[in-house]
Amino acid sequence: MRLDYIVDALSLAADSRSPLRIRGAGSKDFYGGMLAGDVLDVSAYRGIVAYEPTELYITARCGTPLAEIEAALAEKGQMLAFEPPHFSGATLGGCVAAGLSGPRRQQAGAVRDFVLGVKLIDGTGQVLDFGGQVMKNVAGYDVSRLLAGSLGTLGVLAEVTLKVLPKPVAEQALLFEMNEREALARLNQWGGQPLPISASFWHAGQLSLRLTGAHAAVEAARRTLGGTAAVASEQLWLAIREQTHPAFAGGVLWRLALPSTAAVPGLAGLRAIEWGGGLRWYGGEAAGIRDAATAAGGHAVLYRAPESLRCREGAFAPLSPALLALHRRLKKSFDPHGILNPGHLYAEL
């Protein structure tokens, strides 16, 4: 597929005011608001454009599978440090558009923190370039970050340049038996200490920690923390990243972003705690969950649910009038005719 194909498709849709649903592998069709419009499949626009291991960046087209990118990085001992989920063949464009990070986000940061630059095709078919390829050359850097998590509502991410990092020298997973309150207290206590914790996961009375770093640092932390060494720890963190772990089972799943120090909100259905206490997963319809999340200083996302519930509740917490006005201005700037993934982020967009 050539870039001109995507440009022409967007130009024609803009002229006819025809809504488009941007799609790569479709691995995250469950996420966000309801899908609408004719499918614009960009999965064939793929391939690694540039990779400079010494400069710690990689540029690839939107349809490039994450597995292909990570295989190239692995050959040079490098990785995508935000540890994005692959699900069923996720692509780079969908990875950045959804903005979903894996267990290592606790230590490394979110998707947006690694976006150095993008080539974007907006809702009129215009090709725009933002950012650069290295940290010292990032004009338009904030616009590149803005696109992470926008769910394709501002344009097609034709190419993305990401910062990459070396793979860790040593890793060790530890297991602790404790309830959720004890886990939160320990995670906050450890979070204030110079410990090489790269991931944490509490589920059903068991807290799992992943230590990452130099051999000496990992071994010293293991002695300090205690716990039991996990068997098959690589499979454990892979299951958490890909959400095949039993904690993520069920038809309805809520994702709460809260201050790590926030107390347990008193809601039924707690499934898991990640990111040092900053991310909490709940199952079931959980009445009042958004109010509880707001009261605790965070917000709740209806991460996965049947269509009827997604229509009724909306995927994301409602915006304040000021924030909604800002979102509308951004949408108008990038997609003046409102043809790109309408309603996928918010019903008003």
Is the pLDDT reported for residue 289 higher than 80?
yes
The CA distance from 55 to 68, in Å, is 20
As a whole-number percent, the residues of the chain with pLDDT over 70 amount to 97
Which tokens in the block code for residue 98?
């959804």
Least confident of 136-140, 160-164, 208-212, 251-255: 136-140
The CA distance from 345 to 349, in Å, is 7
Q: Which residue(s) pair with 129 in the sheet? A: 119
Sequence-distant (6+) residues with CB within 8 A of 212 are: 104, 107, 168, 170, 171, 196, 197, 198, 199, 218
Is the pLDDT reported for residue 137 higher than 50?
no
pLDDT digits (tens, 9 = 90+) for 250-269: 999 999 999 999 988 889 99
Which tokens in the block code for residue 340?
């790109």
Quick count: other Cβ atoms within 10 Å of Cβ 291?
12
The CA distance from 331 to 336, in Å, is 7
The CA distance from 61 to 90, in Å, is 13
Beta carbons of 82 and 176 less than 8 angstroms apart: no
What's the confidence (pLDDT) of residue 134?
A: 54
Is the pLDDT reported for residue 323 higher than 70?
yes
Beta carbons of 138 and 131 less than 8 angstroms apart: yes
What's the confidence (pLDDT) of residue 133?
A: 63
pLDDT digits (tens, 9 = 90+) for 58-93: 999 999 999 999 999 999 999 999 999 999 899 999
Which tokens in the block code for residue 161?
């340049």
Least confident of 275-284, 305-314, 332-341: 305-314
Which tokens in the block code for residue 208?
């799992």
Q: Which residue(s) pair with 209 in the sheet? A: 174, 200
pLDDT digits (tens, 9 = 90+) for 9-58: 999 999 999 999 999 999 999 999 989 999 999 999 999 999 999 999 99
> For the chain, how far is it from start to end, CA to CA, in angstroms?
29
Sequence-distant (6+) residues with CB within 8 A of 43 are: 23, 24, 25, 63, 91
Q: What angle do CA 155, 159, 161 make, to 5 degrees?
A: 120
Q: How many CA within 13 A on the CB side of residue 100?
A: 25
What's the confidence (pLDDT) of residue 141?
A: 52
